[in-house]
Amino acid sequence: MNVLFFGITKDIVGSSEISFSNELQPTSVASLKKQLIESYPEFSKLNSLAVAVNSEYADDSVLLKGNEEIAIIPPVSGG
Amino acid sequence: MNVLFFGITKDIVGSSEISFSNELQPTSVASLKKQLIESYPEFSKLNSLAVAVNSEYADDSVLLKGNEEIAIIPPVSGG
Amino acid sequence: MKKVVEIVDVIDTAKVYAELSDANSGGICVFVGAVREFTNNEEVIALEFETYEAMALKEMSKIADEALAKWSLNKVLIRHAVGEKGVEEPVVIVGASSAHRDACFEACRFLIDTLKETVPIWKKEKFKNKSVWVSAHP
Amino acid sequence: MKKVVEIVDVIDTAKVYAELSDANSGGICVFVGAVREFTNNEEVIALEFETYEAMALKEMSKIADEALAKWSLNKVLIRHAVGEKGVEEPVVIVGASSAHRDACFEACRFLIDTLKETVPIWKKEKFKNKSVWVSAHP
C-alpha cells in the first residue's frame, strides 16, 4: 500500500510517498490515521487531517484493500 | 432658461433642448415640472421624472434663477 | 489612482484586472454587464445607450466615494459604455480590490446596484419592429 | 463549454471575460485572488502553491456542478495556479455568467468560498526568514 503526502504532511514525513509492507497495512481510514499519528506525532497538532481514497474524501469508516490511491490531505489553503 | 432633455423625454419633446422665454420661465423645480406636464401630457405617464440643476439631482423645492444648467431626468436604466 | 470613473465608447474587459490590481489586495471582484439576446422572449437587435455625461460622471464618482468610505478598498472602478451595443458586448464594468474578499464582493455589488438607480444613463432596447426606452413606463 | 475547471501554471486574467461571455448572459461576475505583500504586517516574498491535481480537478468540478444546479447560470469557470507566485500575481480566478446579476454574484461567491474549503491545494507563505503552510496549525 502506497500513501501520498502533500503540503505540511509531506514536510513532516520527509517524503511525498511512503509504502506500507503487507503485514503493517492499515485496513481502514481510521487505522491508517492512527498509525500515522503514532509514527509522526506532529500530525496530531494539525488543524485537521483528511484522507482521500481514489481521489475522493473518505471518512474514518472506509475500508482499505491496499490497491487504492490513498492520499493524506492536511488543511487545505487554496485561493 | 434652457432645459436639456434625455432618453424618452427627448423623444416626447422632439428635441434635446428647449428654451423658455423670460415671461414663461418657471421659478422652481416644482413649477418647471408642472409646466412640462401641461405641455407634454406624456410626461405624466413616466415611472418617475427628476430634474437636475447644475448636474445634481434637485428636489421640487429648489428655486430656479434661469442661469443654471437644467436637465430633465427620466427613469434611468444604465447597466 | 484609487478611483477610476469613466464613460467610454468601447469597454476593454481585458485591462480591468491590471487597473484594479494592487500589492495590498488579496481579492478583486469585477462585474460586467452585457447585452442579452432575448428580453422577455423577444429578440434584441441592439441596445442604445445615451447619457448626460457631466452628471453621470459626478454620480459615478459619488458612488465610488461612497464605496471607498463604506468598505476598506484599495481601488474602485466604474466604467460605462455609450452608443449602440450588440449582443454579448459589454456595456458596463465595475470592480473593487481589497485585502480580503468580503469587502470587494460587497462593494462590487453595491457599485452596480447603485449605478442602476442613480446614474443618468438611458437604455433603448431595439427589437426588430420597435424600440423601447427601458424602465420608462410602469 | 458550460464549465471550465483547470489547474495552470500562470493565470491569464485578460481572457476570462471571453470565456464566460454568452449571448444569454446579462451579467458576469469574476473574482481574482492575488498575492498580498503583507500578512499580519509581515512582508511576504512569495506564495508557493502545491496541489493533488487529480483530486483538485474532481473537487473543482463538483463545485462547478453544484453552482450550476443551485443557480441559473450559463457558464462557470474555476482556475487555480500552482507554483511560486510573487506579490500581485493572480493565484485563482473564479467566475459565472447568468441572465440576471443576482445569480452570477451569488455563484461567484460560492465558488471561491467552497474552493477554499474543499479543494486540495496548499499554500506556503514565504517570508524573509521562514516559510509557513497556511492554516495547517490552530
Q: Summarize pLDDT for A42-57 with one digit per residue, the tens.
A: 999 999 999 999 999 9
* Residues from chain A contacting residue D36 (CB–CB below 8 Å): none
Cβ of D135 and A56 within 8 Å? no
pLDDT digits (tens, 9 = 90+) for B27-68: 999 999 999 999 999 999 999 999 999 999 999 999 999 999
Subunits in contact with chain C (3 or more CB pairs closer than 8 Å): B, D
Q: What is the pLDDT of residue B71?
A: 98
Q: What is the pLDDT of residue C132?
A: 96
Range of the structural domain that residue C107 is part of: 3-90+102-132
* Residues from chain C contacting residue D15 (CB–CB below 8 Å): 14
Spatial separation of the C-alpha atoms in residues D116 and D83, rounded to whole Å? 17
Q: At what angle do helices D101-118 and D53-70 cross, to 10 degrees?
A: 150
Q: What is the pLDDT of residue D21?
A: 97
Q: What is the pLDDT of residue B49?
A: 96
Decide if D77 is inside a domain: yes
Cβ of D30 and C35 within 8 Å? no
Considering CB atoms only, which of C52, C55, C135 is closest to B77? C135
Decide if D57 is inside a domain: yes
Residue A23 confidence class, pLDDT cut points 50, 70, 90: confident
Rounded to a whole number, what is the distance in Å from the CA of B75 to chain C's nearest CA? 5
Question: The C-alpha cell of A78 is what?
Answer: 487554496
Q: Is B8 on the interface with C (CB under 8 A)?
A: yes
Rounded to a whole number, what is the distance in Å from the CA of B3 to chain C's nearest CA? 12
| Cα angle value D36/C21/D95 (rounded, 5°) | 95
Decide if C122 is inside a domain: yes
Q: Is C82 on the interface with B (CB under 8 A)?
A: no
Decide if D96 is inside a domain: no
Residue C36 confidence class, pLDDT cut points 50, 70, 90: very high
User: Could you write out the DSSP letters of every residue in C35-55?
Assistant: --SEETTEEEEEEEEEE-HHH
| Distance from the Cα of residue B72 to its chain's centroid | 4
Spatial separation of the C-alpha atoms in residues D120 and A34, rounded to whole Å? 21
Cβ of C30 and D30 within 8 Å? yes
Decide if C75 is inside a domain: yes
Q: What is the pLDDT of residue B22?
A: 85
Decide if D138 is inside a domain: no
Are chains A and B touching, using the cut-off of 8 Å on CB pairs and a minimum of 3 such pairs? no
| Cα angle value A65/D58/A49 (rounded, 5°) | 60
pLDDT digits (tens, 9 = 90+) for D88-126: 999 999 999 999 999 999 999 999 999 999 999 999 999
Q: How many domains does chain D have?
A: 1
* Residues from chain D contacting residue C90 (CB–CB below 8 Å): 17
Question: The C-alpha cell of C112 is what?
Answer: 452596480
* Residues from chain C contacting residue D90 (CB–CB below 8 Å): 17
Spatial separation of the C-alpha atoms in residues B53 and B72, rounded to whole Å? 9
Radius of gyration of chain B (CA): 12
Backbone dihedral angles phi then psi of residue A25, each to the nearest 5 degrees: -65, 120
We report the CATH number of the domain holding residue D19 as 3.90.1170.40
Question: The C-alpha cell of C2 is what?
Answer: 484609487
Cβ of C116 and B74 within 8 Å? no
Cβ of B55 and C80 within 8 Å? no
Question: Could you give the percent of chain D with pLDDT greater than 90?
Answer: 97
Mean pLDDT over C17-22 rounds to 96
* Residues from chain C contacting residue D26 (CB–CB below 8 Å): 33-36
Class of domain B2-73: alpha beta
Spatial separation of the C-alpha atoms in residues B14 and A44, rounded to whole Å? 78
Looking at chain B from residue 42 to 71, which residues have their Cβ under 8 Å from any Cβ of chain C? 45-47, 52, 55-57, 69, 71
Q: What is the pLDDT of residue D40?
A: 87
Cβ of C27 and D32 within 8 Å? yes
Write down the mean pLDDT value for chain D.
97
**Chain D residue whose CA is closest to C17:** D13
